[in-house]
């Protein structure tokens, strides 16, 4: 679980938490409508999205700082009032403050400390990577809400997708999501290829549903359904932030299998 399949390491993930929070915050100005509904998280408005992310940073920071052996209360993550009297500037400052606090606590603990984690790992390495990508994807949610462009560094996007595949293929996921067993069946394979990366990026993912577990590997292989698109578009599709019929995707093969898979593996 601790293995990182791209060239991003613990320090990179800590830095990315701050970088992504800064990028998100700079997109907020005095004209930002915090009551705007978030298309990719329709139960939330923009203020709730930002508060969720900031509270998640602080929740993890407490856990790492105290070397928790069990999860702390997550009440703040569950109760997100829709109304806010805060200005966009105040909320942006609060968000970046929490990101810096989390990154500093992670660095102080170091990647080898032993703590509780919700999935196998037991070290700050898990949370550094998870929170980096959590911040990336909620920045994507904010850009969708604000109607601005979302771009992300290639190696960050690759690492996001690798982590998504790794977490989604853990056997424990069947305990949390028993309906994902319905995905398994003969001939059920999906291939995702990034069209805008150099060959050395090896930006190909094969999802194999033909066995007794949800498996994946980085490879170019024939599949029941194949999806070709720029890397960022693949990231948004697989994380459930973009529909497959928006014109960005070249899909060949069993499109129904793709939609079935996407519907059952929604992130979260």
Task: Let me know whether 245 and 121 are in one domain.
Answer: no
131 in Cβ contact with 25 (< 8 Å):
no
Tell me the whole-structure pTM to 2 decimals: 0.93
User: Do the domain assignments include residue 4?
Assistant: no
Q: Tell me which residue of 154, 247, 244, 153 sits closest to 199, measured CA to CA.
A: 154
Question: Which tokens in the block code for residue 14?
Answer: 């800590």
Q: How far apart are the C-alpha atoms of 234 and 162, rounded to whole Å?
A: 12
3 part of a folded domain: no
Half-sphere exposure of 54 (CA within 13 A, CB side): 20
Domain span holding position 190:
159-264
Residue 102 maps to a domain: yes
- On whether both 135 and 179 belong to a single domain, the answer is no
Q: Is the domain of 130 the same as that of 203?
A: no
Of the three residues 150, 169, 185, the one that is the final residue of a domain is: 150
pLDDT number for residue 53:
96
Q: How many DSSP H helices and E strands does the chain contain? A: 9, 5
Do 197 and 224 belong together in one domain?
Answer: yes
**Can you tell me the distance from the alpha carbon of 200 to that of 213, in angstroms, rounded to the nearest whole number?**
29
Query: What stretch of H or E contains 161?
Result: helix 154-168
pLDDT in tens, 70-112: 887 765 555 677 777 889 999 999 999 999 999 999 999 999 9
Tell me, what's the pLDDT at 266?
79
On whether both 206 and 223 belong to a single domain, the answer is: yes
Domain limit, last residue, from 91, 120, 150: 150
pLDDT-flagged residues of the chain (< 70): 1-6, 74-79, 267-268
| Statement to judge: residues 14 and 143 lie in one domain | yes
146 plus 167 within the same structural domain: no
Residue 205 DSSP SS3: strand
CATH number at residue 81: 1.20.120
pLDDT of residue 77: 59
Burial class (CB in 10 A: 0-12, 13-18, 19+), 94: middle
- Reported as type and span, the H/E element at residue 226 is strand 225-229
Say if 232 falls within a structural domain.
yes
Domain identity same for 131 and 39: yes
Residue ending a domain, among 150, 176, 209, is: 150
Whether residues 97 and 195 fall in one domain? no
104-110 long-range contacts, Cβ below 8 Å, gap at least 24?
105/61, 105/64, 105/65, 106/10, 106/14, 106/17, 106/64, 107/11, 107/14, 109/64, 109/65, 109/67
Looking at the structure of the chain, the number of domains it has is: 2
**In terms of domains, do 34 and 143 share one?**
yes
């Amino acid at each position: 679980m601790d293995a990182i399949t791209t060239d991003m390491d613990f320090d990179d993930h800590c830095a990315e938490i701050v970088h992504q929070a800064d990028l998100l915050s700079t997109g907020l100005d005095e004209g930002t409508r915090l009551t705007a509904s978030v298309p990719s998280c329709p139960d939330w408005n923009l203020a709730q999205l930002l508060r969720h992310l900031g509270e998640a940073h602080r929740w993890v920071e407490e856990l790492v700082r105290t070397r928790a052996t069990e999860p702390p209360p997550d009440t703040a993550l569950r109760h997100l009032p829709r109304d806010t009297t805060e200005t966009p500037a105040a909320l942006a400052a609060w968000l970046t403050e929490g990101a810096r606090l989390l990154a500093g606590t992670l660095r102080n603990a170091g990647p080898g400390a032993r703590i509780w984690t919700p999935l196998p790992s037991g070290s700050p390495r898990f949370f550094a990577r998870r929170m980096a990508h959590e911040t990336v994807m909620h920045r994507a949610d904010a850009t969708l809400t604000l109607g601005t462009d979302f771009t992300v560094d290639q190696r960050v996007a690759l690492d996001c997708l690798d982590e998504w595949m790794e977490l989604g293929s853990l056997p424990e996921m069947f305990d949390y999501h028993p309906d994902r067993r319905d995905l398994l069946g003969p001939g059920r394979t999906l291939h995702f290829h990034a069209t805008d990366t150099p060959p050395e990026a090896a930006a190909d993912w094969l999802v194999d549903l033909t066995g007794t577990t949800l498996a994946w590997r980085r490879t170019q292989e024939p599949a029941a359904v194949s999806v070709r698109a720029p890397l960022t578009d693949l990231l948004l599709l697989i994380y459930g932030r973009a529909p497959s019929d928006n014109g960005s995707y070249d899909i060949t093969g069993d499109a129904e299998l793709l939609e079935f898979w996407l519907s059952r593996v929604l992130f979260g």
